[in-house]
Structure 1
Amino acid sequence: MRIALLEDEYEQAQRVQTILCERGHHCDTFPTGQGFLSAVLHRSYDLLILDWQIPDMTGIDVLASVRAQLNWQIPVVFLTQRDSEQDIVRALDAGADDFLAKPARAAELVARINALARRSNPDAEKEVLRYGPFEVNTQQRSIILHGEELTLTDKDFDLTLFLFQNQGRLLTREMLLERVWGLARDINTRTVDTHMSRLRRRLGLNPENGFRIKTIYQRGYRLEAIEATDSGSVVETLNPDRAANG
C-alpha cells in the first residue's frame, strides 16, 4: 500500500516509515499539515496516518479537510500521544477509522493497517468484479459488456480497473500516471487524456450503461455512476465516496 504519514517529529516519522517499508508498504512522511494536504490531494494514497499535534494545524483539522475535499472513504488512522477517551471519541466522530497511542508497537501497527486495507477494499481478492453491466475479470484481464468482450489494450484494462475501483473519486492526471503507468508525477504528457478519450468510446460510457467519465477542469477525471430518467435526462447516482470538487 501507499501510505502518507503526518508526523513532525523526525525520529518518530523515520521509525514508523521503517516499520511500514520493512513490511512491503511505501510510506511518504510530511512534517506539516499543509504539506501533507497538498500531497494527499494530488497523489494517490491508500491509507493516511495522522499525528494530532503538529506545528501549523491540528490533526483533526487535517482530517476535516481530507473528508471535505476528497469526500471518499480512504482509511485514516490517528497515531498520537493523546490517548484519553475524550480524544479517541473526538477523532472517531470526526471520521478517523482507528486510533493508536504512541509509541505504537510495530506488529500491532501493521496488523491494524492491514485490517483497514482489507475492509476498505473487499474486492481486492475477487477474480470477477461487476460494475453495473460491466463484468471485469482480473485474472483473464478482460471486460465484458452485455455479454460481449471489449477490445482493450493492457493499459486500457489497467486504467479501466483503476477507474472502477475508485469511482466517485477525483483522480488527477499525476495520480493516474503514477498508479497506472508507473511514471513520475512531474512528467508532462497527454497520455492520460488520450487514453481517457479512447476509453469513453470503447467502454460505451453513457447513461444506458450507467457510467460516465467526467473531466474536472485543470484537475483530472472522475468516473461517475449515473442513470437515465424517462425524459432522457441524466441523474447522478448518489455516492458517499464521490469527490466534492467539480
Structure 2
Amino acid sequence: MKVATLCPSRSFEHFSATALRGAGYEPLPHVHLSPLIAALREPGADAVLLEDHDTQVEGWLSALRLHAGRALPIVVLGLGDSVGISRALQRGADDYAVLADGASPLIHRLRARIQSRADGVRATSLRAGPYSLHASTQSLSTGAREVSLTAREFALAWTLFENLGRVVSTHTLSTEIWGRTGDVGKRTLEQHVYKLRLKLDPDGRRARGLQHETMPAPRIQTVYGVGYRLEL
C-alpha cells in the first residue's frame, strides 16, 4: 500500500518515511500542496499523512477535501498539543498521531483508518424509515429532498441511523467518528450534533409540533450523561 505525505520539515519527512517503510508501506513524499493534490487525482495512494505544520494544516485539509477528487483517509502527524489536535479534527482530519509516541501508534492509526474506509465502501447505503443515507455522495435523502452532509456529520448520522431508537453513548460516537475519545471534547461532539439537527429538521417541524405523521422529521434526543438517540 502507498501513503502520500506532505511534510515540509525534514525531521517529520524522515520520521514518516522511515515509519512507513518499516511497516511495509510505500511513502509518496511531497513538500508542497499542489503536487500532492495533483497526485491524489490519480489512482495510487491509499491514505494521506500530513504534518501539523504551524496553521497551514487547516488550509491543506480544506483544499484536500475540496480538490483531491477521492475521499482518502487523512491522518495528521504533530506534536500533540490540544489546540493542534482539535484544529485538525475539526477541519476534517480522520485521526491525529503524536510524533513523540513513535512509529507504532502512527502505523496503527493509519491501518485502522484505511481498513475503516474500506469497510465503509462496502456498505454504501442505509435506510431508516423514509430516509436513506448515501455513502457515495455523503448525503441524506427523503422523497425529493436531499441534504448534503460533511464527513463528520455523515459519520454521526450513519451511526445514529444504524442504531435507530437505541441510545448510542458519547464514547461510541467519538470512537466511530474520530477513532478516539480522549482528545475529543464534549463540546466538539455537541457542536456536530447541533449542526446535524439543523440539517435533519431545517424548518423546525419537531420543535413546533408540525411534523406530518407519514413523514416525521428525525429527532436526535440527548440522553444526559449517556449519549444520543435518533427517533423518527
TM-score by length of 2: 0.49
Larger helix share, 1 or 2: 2
Considering Cα pairs closer than 8 Å and 6+ residues apart, tell me whether 1 or 2 has the greater RCO.
Answer: 1
